[in-house]
């Protein structure tokens, strides 16, 4: 038997991620997980880094696109006229380290866990040194910034996420 996980997404515009993989591989389409269909007043957008310079892909135009399948760490913009409660039976990300590929440039990614992610604990690998380094070191070496931006649907604005203690920033990325 698989554990059950719940994620709650508010109406309006949000960046969402689902921190679990469905037990049945044939039920990994994000629209099925969210319980939405083409007649709903709901849309999703994914950022496609395989296109030169990146581009958004809309679910309403290409619902079969590979970016609209669930993967731990994958995120989408969600615009909905109603709250969405997701109950998923499946497997969460491993409790140990979990790698999310982040290509150069702007990326859209989500928390792969079912619990808050401490951004200060994030490490960067694959930068030519052979061993993971913390965000501060990676920033000093010029490989990755030591901050990110999260979208706050309640204020309809972005919020700084950083591993350092700043009064106007947060250090945690919530699940979902």
Q: Tell me, what's the pLDDT at 45? A: 96
> What DSSP state is assigned to residue 141?
H
Phi, psi of 130 (to 5 degrees): 85, -20
pLDDT, tens digit (0-9, with 9 covering 90-100), for 126-147: 766 668 888 888 888 887 887 8
CB atoms within 10 A of CB 106: 10
Q: Round the CA-based radius of gyration of the chain to a whole number and report it.
A: 17
Q: Give the predicted TM-score (pTM) of the model.
A: 0.84
């Amino acid at each position: 038997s698989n554990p059950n996980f719940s994620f709650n997404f508010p109406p309006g515009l949000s960046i969402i991620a689902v921190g679990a993989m469905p037990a049945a591989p044939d039920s990994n389409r994000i629209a099925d997980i969210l319980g939405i269909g083409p007649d709903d007043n709901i849309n999703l957008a994914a950022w496609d880094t395989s296109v030169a310079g990146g581009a958004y892909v809309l679910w309403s135009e290409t619902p079969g696109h590979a970016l609209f399948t669930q993967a731990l760490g994958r995120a989408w913009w969600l615009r909905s006229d109603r709250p969405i409660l997701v109950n998923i039976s499946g497997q969460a990300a491993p409790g140990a380290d979990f790698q999310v590929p982040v290509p150069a440039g702007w990326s859209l990614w989500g928390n792969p866990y079912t619990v808050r992610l401490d951004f200060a604990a994030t490490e960067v690998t694959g930068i030519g040194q052979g061993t993971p380094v913390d965000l501060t070191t990676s920033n000093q070496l010029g490989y990755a910034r030591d901050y990110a931006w999260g979208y706050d649907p309640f204020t309809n604005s972005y919020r700084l996420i950083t591993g350092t203690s700043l009064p106007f920033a947060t250090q945690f990325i919530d699940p979902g």
